[in-house]
Every structure is written in structure tokens, then in C-alpha cells.
Amino acid sequence: MLKKNVLITGGSKGLGASIAKKFAENGYNIILNYNKSTKEANLLKKDLEEKYKSKVLLVCADISLENEVKVMIDTIKKEFNSIDILVNNAGIAIDLPLEEKSADQFMKVISVNLLGTFLVTKYATTIMNKGSIINISSTNGIDTGYIESIDYDASKAGVIALTHDFAKYLAPKIRVNCIAPGWINTDMNKNLFDDFKKNEIQKIGLKKFANCDDIANVVYFLASDNANYINDAVIRVDGGYFE
């Protein structure tokens, strides 16, 4: 039986690494996209190969640049011929007070989070005959935004819009769904002020931030045949957040 191939953008650390491990332990070939985290990508590749005997391909690309995305997909095609699962996970945040946020910073976040998701999906689907795409948005793109993350929030709302459009365009061969996590214990959130974090935890029904594995489990479910009738869905994974 041929192994399936999963491409994970921003796959070298944090949530991306947890997603990679989940697919590796279930017998997938792993394609890890990364941009600057070369050391982390190589360590994760070694770990996945040793623990799970997975075939792991590292592909360095800035997903906000169209030519680099094209080269990435060409590289994957030469190595694996096709992609079965795409997880659009890569994302950045530049949280600043509104008066300090520049147009260049705003556009950088939009370029990676939104344009990057569009570009990878556009070119990855040229080598996907069927399968599943899971986009990682955020509850910030729905109803939990902050003025300091206005660019991030807008980008994640855009990812949800992309999900709806691609789900219609790619059906019935490729399912497209979206996960909107709430707070996760990742490097992106490691510098939160203690009082702010405590206050946010009190708004979560389960009284804790998610671990990366909590989100990775939902990603894997959506990719699996157990979710074969789920398409164009946006699933909140936020522990029951309420104001």
C-alpha cells in the first residue's frame, strides 16, 4: 500500500511540528515547509525518521513569494509525484499598538498568512488528484480580535474566506476545511503578560490554553476518511471561550 503524502507549511516547530508528528505516527510521508528555522527543521526531520521511519522532505520556501512556492511544488512533484493532504499552517504575528504599526508590517502579515495560503493552495492543487486541505485560521478571524493584532485578525478572517471559495471550487475531489484555534501554548504566545494570560484563561470554559497536540488531533481527523463528508466547515477549537 502506497503511503500518502502530507505537506505542512510552517512545519518545523510549534503547531506545525505537532501536526507533522501526528501524521508521521499514522504512516504518512512528511513534507515540511520552513523558511528561516533550518536548525529546527533538520532536528524534526531526524526525529520523525528515527521514531516513525517516515520519509521526510524538507523544503525551504517563503510562501509569500510566488516563485518560491512554484519551486517548492516542483520539488515535491519530483520527489513524491503528488500531494494527498495540505495543511496551510504557516503564519506570523507582529503585535503592536495601532499608532506604532506601519503599512509595511501590516502587509508582511497579510502576505504570509493570507497570500501565502492562497499561493500554496493554488499550486499544490496542481498535483492533488484528490484529498483534503486544512487551513489554520484563528478565532481572531471570527470574533476575538485585538487592535494590536488588527493585521493578523484580518489575515485570519481572509483565510476563512479562502476556505469557503476553495471548498466550492475544488469539490468534489478535494475537501477544504478550516480550523480556528483559540489560545495555544506556542512561541507566538510565550511573551504574554501574566495578568493578561490569567484573565484570558478565566474566559475559557476549560480554564487552560490548548496544547499543540489538541489542535493537531483535529487537523488529522479532518484529513482522515472519518471526516469524508465534512467540507467547507470552520471548526472552533478554543476550549469554549466566552467574554
Dihedral pair phi/psi, residue 59, rounded to 5°: -135, 110
Helix (H) or strand (E) segment spanning residue 32: strand 29-34
234, burial (CB in 10 Å: exposed 0-12, middle 13-18, buried 19+): middle
**How many C-beta neighbours within 10 Å does residue 232 have?**
15
Gap between the Cα atoms of 85 and 130, Å rounded: 9
Gap between the Cα atoms of 241 and 182, Å rounded: 8
Helix (H) or strand (E) segment spanning residue 131: strand 131-136
Gap between the Cα atoms of 99 and 204, Å rounded: 30
In the residue annotation, 152 being an active-site residue is answered as yes
DSSP of 50-68: HHH---EEEEE--TTSHHH
Summary count for the chain: helices (H), strands (E)? 8, 7
Strand ranges across the sheet with 5-8: 56-60, 29-34, 5-8, 85-88, 131-136, 174-181, 234-237
C-alpha cell at 1: 500500500
- In degrees, rounded to 5, the angle at the alpha carbon of residue 183 between the alpha carbons of residues 240 and 62 is 135
Catalytic residue among 28, 34, 152, 220: 152
Which residues are identified as catalytic?
152
